[in-house]
Amino acid sequence: MSNNTLRLEGIYPPIPTPFDAKGHVATKALTGNLRIWNRYELRGYVVLGSNGELVLLNDQERLRVLEVARAAIPADKLMIAGTGCQSTLQTIELTKQAAEIGADAALVVSPFYYKGQMTSGVLIEHFHRVADASPIPVIIYNMPACTGIDLDATTVTAIAEHENILAIKDSGGSLAKMAEIHRLAPLSFQLLAGSASFLLPALLMGAVGGVLALANVAPHQCLAIRQHFIDGELDEARHLQEKVLPVNAAVTRGWGVPALKAAMEMLGMYGGLPRAPLLPLSEDKKEDLRCILQEAELSALG
Amino acid sequence: MSNNTLRLEGIYPPIPTPFDAKGHVATKALTGNLRIWNRYELRGYVVLGSNGELVLLNDQERLRVLEVARAAIPADKLMIAGTGCQSTLQTIELTKQAAEIGADAALVVSPFYYKGQMTSGVLIEHFHRVADASPIPVIIYNMPACTGIDLDATTVTAIAEHENILAIKDSGGSLAKMAEIHRLAPLSFQLLAGSASFLLPALLMGAVGGVLALANVAPHQCLAIRQHFIDGELDEARHLQEKVLPVNAAVTRGWGVPALKAAMEMLGMYGGLPRAPLLPLSEDKKEDLRCILQEAELSALG
Amino acid sequence: MSNNTLRLEGIYPPIPTPFDAKGHVATKALTGNLRIWNRYELRGYVVLGSNGELVLLNDQERLRVLEVARAAIPADKLMIAGTGCQSTLQTIELTKQAAEIGADAALVVSPFYYKGQMTSGVLIEHFHRVADASPIPVIIYNMPACTGIDLDATTVTAIAEHENILAIKDSGGSLAKMAEIHRLAPLSFQLLAGSASFLLPALLMGAVGGVLALANVAPHQCLAIRQHFIDGELDEARHLQEKVLPVNAAVTRGWGVPALKAAMEMLGMYGGLPRAPLLPLSEDKKEDLRCILQEAELSALG
Amino acid sequence: MSNNTLRLEGIYPPIPTPFDAKGHVATKALTGNLRIWNRYELRGYVVLGSNGELVLLNDQERLRVLEVARAAIPADKLMIAGTGCQSTLQTIELTKQAAEIGADAALVVSPFYYKGQMTSGVLIEHFHRVADASPIPVIIYNMPACTGIDLDATTVTAIAEHENILAIKDSGGSLAKMAEIHRLAPLSFQLLAGSASFLLPALLMGAVGGVLALANVAPHQCLAIRQHFIDGELDEARHLQEKVLPVNAAVTRGWGVPALKAAMEMLGMYGGLPRAPLLPLSEDKKEDLRCILQEAELSALG
């Protein structure tokens, strides 16, 4: 039976999948990185999200990454597995496999290839079928920058009526929409900010936490923004959020996964190369990135 | 000399321009409406904004509306005049006329017809020429839903370096961008939320207030959201913000100026008809609107 | 009574409005340019279109440009006046004034500022009111690159049912849509390509001609493309069309009106400066433009 | 060695993948459908394109469909296999497998998930790596409606410089862009229209044929449009193209694959259900579709 009372409060890095020089999944590096992140008060991890290059992995690799990650993630931290595929059936299969491996919840991106046919009704039906079949709670993943589809509040609310739909990770960035979802969805439905660039205002509007690429390289700062907010220290929270904005921009919409991996390398973790078609960050941009990290006073993690 | 230390903290309704049955500007209705709004602790008004149907008025009507409004606005409340035209020269002329009539500041929408040519450099040059020539401080108006142009943080920050550029009214709704502008712009540069749908998170990220269509029909609630925020009553603030969301949606992106005028009529003020091509709200939608106002417990103003 | 049987077959340059060094309308230059264009078999001219900087002219200037142009345009060539404003009323007024000055037809861009409210019904109503009031036939102007609104085939067809709606100038570039309009609209309804970049395929799909920025600097080539098509010389037509593509791109979506004016100057006509916010073409880009003109073997007109 | 002189002139249906009542690939139905299409002078087939629901099939199913299709496609007709995945490596693997099964060329959609990183350079590198490794010629697949990425002419031309890049199937619909590609790319580079909605103008601008969803249900008409064009019967070509526009709209951007399968069923072929998240066409829409087929005078194929 699904644990639909799972509480998600907290910060989650959507961890990258490390590759070795030959391009294979570097399982030891994955374990090593998790050991470092485990030192922080992170609530858990998203494995196989957009930053985990889910769409660039084959079926075997996906399961292997989940297994290795689960072994390295303590029982008191959540493992949220990215399991959204274009096909409803494949999404269900991957979700079941993830559950078997020990994932606590599944993060399911909206299908998007047949954009013209992805009406509200089609999307609701897809998520409900997945939720029906899933042994673990399902988190809706709204990621318009990658999918070209931006779920509206009405659709999200309708999806949320299913008891096995636990939350939404919204990377769209519309606070008005987050407020509308918070107003309309069941009380138990949880909101997670999908980017550190709007973590603080999202918390104010009712989000319980965030899945933040930035948390891979600045876990301390992401946790501190949330703690300041909880403690009512709004000025400190805002100051910190503003300070990390340039790093966040660099490792997300700016230069993406290649920059995230480069930044991890600079901070003493295993970064490695992204998988093609993604190309490694150029030397010029690496220099820029180094400056951005320094200005934000990020310190080594590893 | 321009008053570039003008403090904008507070709430501003961008007031509609009332027309009589023949379609002429209804000056008495304008005065009457302002008398009602003057009872509230509003910081001032935007006259000739998007909701003021600026683009549908001829030159004479624009000046007449400003004169009538100024006469009805007490000296301790600000009159911000919408003066942005496609042409730099016409913008400057209207800004000077507005200043002469007594406007405290000019709200200048980014020019947008020649979108392909509206590079960052062209926009900066435009705003700086206007600011050079303007006897009153200039507020940047970013309104992507109408203009199809969304000023980025770098461009805004460059424009803001001019000493006669006072603030930005941002209707785009990206809190990440507002945070970025707050981080980069001069300390004296002020941010105003352009919609009640994100007033509260905008205040958190450093906005000093808002220019809110909703404030025309729910001035008390808009003021209360801000006051709760100032008093650290975040839950009350969020609760109130969520409650008014449907009204805000109806009178802005949903049904626009026709709905705003219909709502004012329902609340005891002068609404009247919009000017063509805008058409009056249909009877069906009026019925829906009435329900929305009731559910939000808006009470008569007039 | 309106001449709704006016036949539009042919090529029309949407002529730029020349300004003198002080920024005033340069009426002699306008006359001089028209004398040069009059030597070609152009069917007529669009005066006060997007390239005529309509939105940057004040009311007096608009009428002056129409008067000067009409005096310089022979009776056997058509003068189509751009008269579309945001307001239905102002559009009607300018259309009537243009008719009085001698315009043969009015080119009316869809209103677009209140994008959210510009439903199909609102747009149909607008165009029908204008057509009702206009003493001259009305041509719909679909210009998504500037307006952010792309009229669909169904809306255009509904507008076209009015007997005083003569044609559409479509700058959107979807041949599928042009075919759909050709299929659905009354037989008498005429289509004009809005850009030389798709003149030839548009002629194939039923367009009777084009309003082409390129025709200002390459009237001979634009006429020849059409003549080759009429004569069934499709290869020659395509070859010529491909040859002028780079010039067309430069003076339209690439660098816009500033480049069009610079190119005219290079070809012996009066170009002059664009009006701010548009800025003159930089020296670097002028050099590029010169090369583009040479490669396309454009020869001096003046 | 790759056959980079393969001539693509002609019409190709991108065939749907049939599923049985249990949702499994219906191999006999696939063979049966191909037997019917084989009666027409089609140049070949695209197997595993967007209409083949490539993104909804697992690895085994993809190979099975290719094998069954190849067995049913005569040697004198081309089998073009859709092999584009998000990952460069997976694209190469699937391309090699398709080649081994007997595909004549590979249709490779641009990767698109990491939109922000899909710069011109990244896309060129991706296609060149695939072309380097592919034993069969590669056709670029530009499909902005599904991918959210619209390859520009400069990028396409740069990709086309590789000797194993044979052609582009462009579903974007910009004839100006097709003309630009035709002007800039190597003489041997071939263009295919990606939709029947602009087949005729594309042929005029240099396309050698088309990959047309419509050709699944109206092969005769699609072939006739091309033949009329070749014979210089432009009016007949245009008339026919206009006539089939509504059918094309219904089975593509209107209602997509579900409508294509329903239309096939109505015309005596095997249609079957689409795979979830795609849902079967509703009864109401089926009724509309039936009328559309009748008005276009489509006759049974099976």
CA dihedral C264, C269, C272, C277 (to 10 degrees): -30
CB distance C105 to C48 below 8 Å: no
| DSSP SS3 for D1 | coil
- For chain C, percent of residues with pLDDT exceeding 70: 99
Average pLDDT over residues C223-249: 97
Average pLDDT over residues A62-85: 98
CB distance C42 to C77 below 8 Å: yes
Could you tell me the pLDDT band of residue C5, with boundaries at 50, 70 and 90? confident
Q: Do B179 and A205 touch (CB under 8 A)?
A: no
CB distance C100 to C65 below 8 Å: no
Instruction: Determine whether A243 is an active site residue.
Output: no
CA angle A37, A42, A46 (to 5 degrees): 80
Q: How far apart are CA C41 and CA C11, in angstroms?
A: 8
> What are the CA-CA distances from residue B289 to residues B254, B277, C85 (Å)?
11, 21, 30
Bridge partners, residue C141, by sequence: C109, C169
CB distance A168 to A208 below 8 Å: no
H/E stretch holding D158:
helix D153-160
Could you tell me the pLDDT band of residue C1, with boundaries at 50, 70 and 90? very low
CB distance A13 to A47 below 8 Å: no
Tokens coding D217: 């249900």
Taking contacts as CB-CB distances below 8 angstroms, the residues of chain A near D147 are: 148
Average pLDDT over residues A10-15: 98
Tens of pLDDT, residues D46-72: 999 999 999 999 999 999 999 999 999
Average pLDDT over residues A83-105: 98
D86 vs A: CB within 8 A: yes
CB distance D229 to D203 below 8 Å: yes
pLDDT at A4 over 70: no
D241 vs C: CB within 8 A: yes
Q: Do C276 and B58 touch (CB under 8 A)?
A: no
Q: Per-domain residue ranges for chain C? A: 10-241
pLDDT at site D3: 57
CB distance A275 to A56 below 8 Å: yes
Q: How far apart are CA B265 and CA B251, in angstroms?
A: 13
Q: Do C117 and B253 touch (CB under 8 A)?
A: no
Q: Is the link from the previous residue into D186 a cis peptide, with omega within 30 of 0?
A: no
Alpha-carbon Rg for chain A, nearest whole angstrom, is 18
Tens of pLDDT, residues C85-115: 999 999 999 999 999 999 999 999 999 999 9
- Which residue, C224, C230, C172, is CA-closest to C204? C230
Architecture of domain C10-241: Alpha-Beta Barrel (3.20)
> What are the CA-CA distances from residue A57 to residues A24, B286, D68 (Å)?
10, 53, 27
Q: Do D122 and A58 touch (CB under 8 A)?
A: no
Going through chain A in order, the beta strands assigned E by DSSP cover 10-12, 14-15, 44-47, 78-82, 105-109, 138-142, 165-170, 190-193, 209-211
Average pLDDT over residues A220-226: 98
Per-run averaged pLDDT (10 residues), chain B, 302 residues: 78 98 97 98 98 98 98 98 98 98 98 97 98 98 97 98 98 96 96 98 97 98 98 97 96 96 98 98 98 96 85
Taking contacts as CB-CB distances below 8 angstroms, the residues of chain A near B234 are: 204
Residue type, C116: G
Q: Do A257 and D117 touch (CB under 8 A)?
A: yes
Q: Chain C neighbours among D 147-176 (CB < 8 Å)?
A: 173-176
Gap from C205 CA to chain D (nearest CA, Å): 6
> What are the CA-CA distances from residue A14 to residues A102, A219, C73, C264 (Å)?
17, 11, 67, 56
pLDDT at site D2: 54
Check contact A-D (3+ Cβ pairs < 8 Å).
yes
CB distance A140 to A165 below 8 Å: yes
Average pLDDT over residues A289-297: 97
Average pLDDT over residues C132-156: 98
A278 vs D: CB within 8 A: yes
pLDDT at site B3: 57
D89 vs A: CB within 8 A: yes
pLDDT at A61 over 90: yes
> What are the CA-CA distances from residue D62 to residues B84, D54, D82, D270 (Å)?
57, 7, 9, 19
CA dihedral C146, C148, C150, C156 (to 10 degrees): -70
Gap from C182 CA to chain D (nearest CA, Å): 8
Tens of pLDDT, residues D112-139: 999 999 999 999 999 999 999 999 999 9
CB distance D201 to C175 below 8 Å: yes
Q: Do C276 and B113 touch (CB under 8 A)?
A: no
pLDDT at C3 over 70: no
Q: How many CB atoms lie within 10 A of CB D230?
A: 11
Phi, psi of B54 (to 5 degrees): -45, -45
Q: Chain A neighbours among D 49-78 (CB < 8 Å)?
A: 50, 55-59
pLDDT at A108 over 50: yes
Residue with tokens 């779920």: A151
CB distance A6 to A104 below 8 Å: yes
Q: Is D152 exposed, middle or buried (0-12, 13-18, 19+ CB in 10 A)?
A: middle
pLDDT at C141 over 90: yes
- Which residue, C17, C69, C73, is CA-closest to C44? C73
- Residue to test with chain A: of B174, B175, B180, B295, most A Cβ within 10 A: B175
Instruction: Indicate the DSSP class of residue C206.
Output: T
Q: Which chain C residue has the Cα nearest residue B256?
A: C117
Q: How many CB atoms lie within 10 A of CB B161?
A: 12
pLDDT at A121 over 60: yes
Q: How far apart are CA D153 and CA D148, in angstroms?
A: 16
Q: How far apart are CA A194 and CA A198, in angstroms?
A: 8
Tens of pLDDT, residues B73-102: 999 999 999 999 999 999 999 999 999 999
- Which residue, C125, C52, C46, is CA-closest to C91? C125
CB distance B205 to B229 below 8 Å: no
H/E stretch holding D45:
strand D44-47
Taking contacts as CB-CB distances below 8 angstroms, the residues of chain B near A200 are: 179, 204-205
Tens of pLDDT, residues A124-179: 999 999 999 999 999 999 999 999 999 999 999 999 999 999 999 999 999 999 99
Average pLDDT over residues C188-200: 97
Facing A238 at nearest CB: one of B173, B206, B234: B206
Full DSSP string of B274-285: PPTTS-PPPHHH
ipTM above 0.90, yes or no: yes
Tens of pLDDT, residues D196-236: 999 999 999 999 999 999 999 999 999 999 999 999 999 99
Q: Do C245 and D176 touch (CB under 8 A)?
A: yes
Tens of pLDDT, residues A193-203: 999 999 999 99
CB distance B42 to B77 below 8 Å: yes
Q: How far apart are CA A16 and CA B123, in angstroms?
A: 39
CA angle B271, B274, B276 (to 5 degrees): 165
Facing A278 at nearest CB: one of D59, D114, D258: D114
Q: How far apart are CA B188 and CA D65, in angstroms?
A: 66
**pTM of the predicted model, to two decimals?**
0.97
Average pLDDT over residues A2-16: 89
pLDDT at A1 over 50: no
Gap from C41 CA to chain D (nearest CA, Å): 25
CA dihedral C152, C158, C160, C164 (to 10 degrees): -140
pLDDT at site D1: 42
Facing B90 at nearest CB: one of C58, C89, C113: C58
Number of Cβ pairs closer than 8 Å across A and B? Answer: 75
